[in-house]
Structure 1
Amino acid sequence: MGRRNKGRQVNGILLLNKPLGISSNGALQRARHLFLAAKAGHTGSLDPLATGVLPICFGEATKFTQFLLDADKKYNTTIRFGVSTASGDSGSEVVSELGAEDLTAKKVEAVLAEFRGNIAQVPSMYSALKHEGQRLYKLARQGISVDRKARDVIIYSLEMIGFRFGEFPEADIKVHCSKGTYIRSLAEDIGSRLGCGAYVSKLHRGAVGQFDEKDSITMGELESIGESRLTASLDCLLKPMDAGIQHLIAIYLPEDVAFYFCQGQAVMTTQAYREGKEGDIVRVFHLDGSFLGVGEITIDGKLAPKRLVI
């Protein structure tokens, strides 16, 4: 007999502003403890040295985390030039120190232009990707390096908003990118192109898809509310389970059709046939407004269940 999760059945999405110095999983576990939640998962890791938006899904909302993993991201980062580290950030040893006193904002801007749009990027050895079942960063810490295939990513915008001269000059940069983009690799590639090396000294994620940091809560604020032991106050912080997929068409089903849809059967619905097309992924609701899950419009115009809320 399988183990049952202990805790409350909490459903929804918490938009946490992860603090510096804690892992994404560490932040997840602290939030889960405060909510006394039976089930939770985060969407898209942030390194301990990074801060910013970390959506945490509770309960049935965990079924829709892939949509957030696939979402665009926005970052504010500071890149330090003239020095390289093993990990591409400030969390590891320096491997090269060339200096870059002659570097100017104009030179950096000229190179940034080369990294806008569709680019191929080799993931860092310090990423959470797996090689033969092992996380790359675990192999890297053992001094092991493996070949990684370049991956296609999109840099929608890359804007320098500040530059400071010096032996190791720094540039403050805003990045809007597709899923799978590694900002550390981007900084290293820019430094390599400039011939001086570079690493990320600061990294803050300002947005994940439609979720912006202005709507997030800090860990300190969350813990302060949690200390009151009023779980209802915490639950009020949760966004609906479909909050991360608002861009998808919403389909509403009458009770008899909703019954068969929730039984895992493809159903015919005039709205889906009229508003969607084959292959569209849509949000599905009961006429009373309750969220039923996500469906896909089939070749014959029916609506087939894809992920259902229990």
Structure 2
Amino acid sequence: MTKPNKPTRRPRTVFRRLDGILLLDKPQGLSSNQALQRVRHLFRAEKGGHTGSLDPLATGLLPVCFGEATKIAGGLLGARKAYETVARLGIVTDTDDAEGQPLREQPVPPLTIDAIDAALKTLTGRIRQRPPIYSALKRGGEPLYAKARRGETIEVDEREVDVHAFDLLNAADLLDGGEPLLRLHVECGSGTYVRSLVRDLGELLGCGAHVAQLRRLWVDPFREPRMWTLAALEDLLEHAGERVLDACLLPVEAGMASWPEVRVNAAQAQRLGRGQGLRGPYQPRGRQVAILDEHGRGLGLGEVDAEGGLRPARLFRWAATGAGGEDGAA
């Protein structure tokens, strides 16, 4: 009697120390963590993290930090971001996007460009926004979406967010009597939910709305990103090898451009690497800064105190010796 074939197991990933930043073009349908784990295994990176979640529906730029680059990931989370989104008018969903269940459907009233622009202007600037109940925000140590999926009643408090731009790109379908769609451009600060912006826009227009499509275009300091799709990375690894794949990574210094820069010499770098501060005066006072050596290699993050002294905050492992990472791009 023939024995059934056992399912083939994937070989276990042998991870390695790897430092650098990948500008991933996240595909639709994956959570940010799922996308992170895919590329971490692809690169065999011991340590990885992403800088700012994208919903499974969303595509576009997801900066992924490997190794020592994870030490600057927290600062990138608060960076300014830009999106292009398509709002579907007339239907409100429980998740505020197309993946949710419809809650309410209303006819879309006759709308003009002026009326749409006026509503968009109301939602621009420093505004108060109520995040979606289906979000990664935590309450009692648990994400809100987990509570919502169990059917718990959730009250989400409004909070202040910065919306630098909320502009209409195209309303041709709506104005021509077709699908009630608006294509919109958004630039915003940390903690802003595009789903909430679209939901609130729909209420201002008197018909409700949800996000039908969402793509992140850029995140500071990556304003003109060269993004890599999962398919392209997999193809590179298969046909060109791991060394060529590693060349897709940016060095950690590329992610440090948003911080004011402070340069130190080799002796000063060694003092910082031992956890000792440096007398100033350094600038700007009272700020977190990017510390670089005389050759422009990033050593990590520090803080300048009120007297101008420089203290180490989160330094890279090579800060005290000046030696670079053994593997990867950092």
TM above 0.5, yes or no, is yes
| Counterpart Cα distance in 1 of 2:179 and 2:92 | 11
| Counterpart Cα distance in 1 of 2:264 and 2:225 | 34
| Counterpart Cα distance in 1 of 2:192 and 2:158 | 11
User: Do the aligned partners of residues 210 and 31 (structure 1) sit closer, same or farther apart at CA in structure 2, a change above 3 Å counting?
Assistant: same
Provide the residue aligned with 2:249 in structure 1. Answer: 238
Letter in 2 for 1:115: L
**Residue from 264, 289, 293 that aligns with 2:300:** 293
Q: CA deviation at 1:213?
A: 5.6
Q: CA deviation at 1:167?
A: 7.1
Aligned residues: 302
Confirm whether residue 160 of structure 1 aligns to residue 168 of structure 2: yes
Aligned-pair RMSD on alpha carbons?
Answer: 1.7
Query: What aligned pairs does 1:1-310 form with structure 2 within 5 A after superposition?
Result: 7-163=15-171, 164-165=173-174, 166=177, 169-212=180-223, 214-228=225-239, 230-269=241-280, 273=281, 276-310=283-317
State the percentage of identical aligned residues. 41
Gaps of 5+ in 1: none
- The structure where strand makes up a greater share of residues is 1
User: Do the aligned partners of residues 277 and 212 (structure 1) sit closer, same or farther apart at CA in structure 2, a change above 3 Å counting?
Assistant: closer
Letter in 2 for 1:245: M
Report if the CA contact (8 A) 1:82-1:168 is conserved: no
| Counterpart Cα distance in 2 of 1:140 and 1:237 | 39
Give CA-to-partner distance per residue, 1:239-298, whole Å, 9 cap, x none. 1113222132322222221111111111125xxx25x13212221122244321111111
Q: CA deviation at 1:198?
A: 0.5
Q: CA deviation at 1:116?
A: 1.1
Gaps of 5+ in 2: 1-12, 318-330
Q: CA deviation at 1:214?
A: 4.0
Letter in 2 for 1:238: L
Greater shift in the superposed pair: 97-106 or 217-226 = 97-106
TM-score, L = length of structure 1: 0.93
Provide the residue aligned with 2:9 in structure 1. Answer: none
Q: CA deviation at 1:92?
A: 1.3
| Counterpart Cα distance in 1 of 2:145 and 2:112 | 33
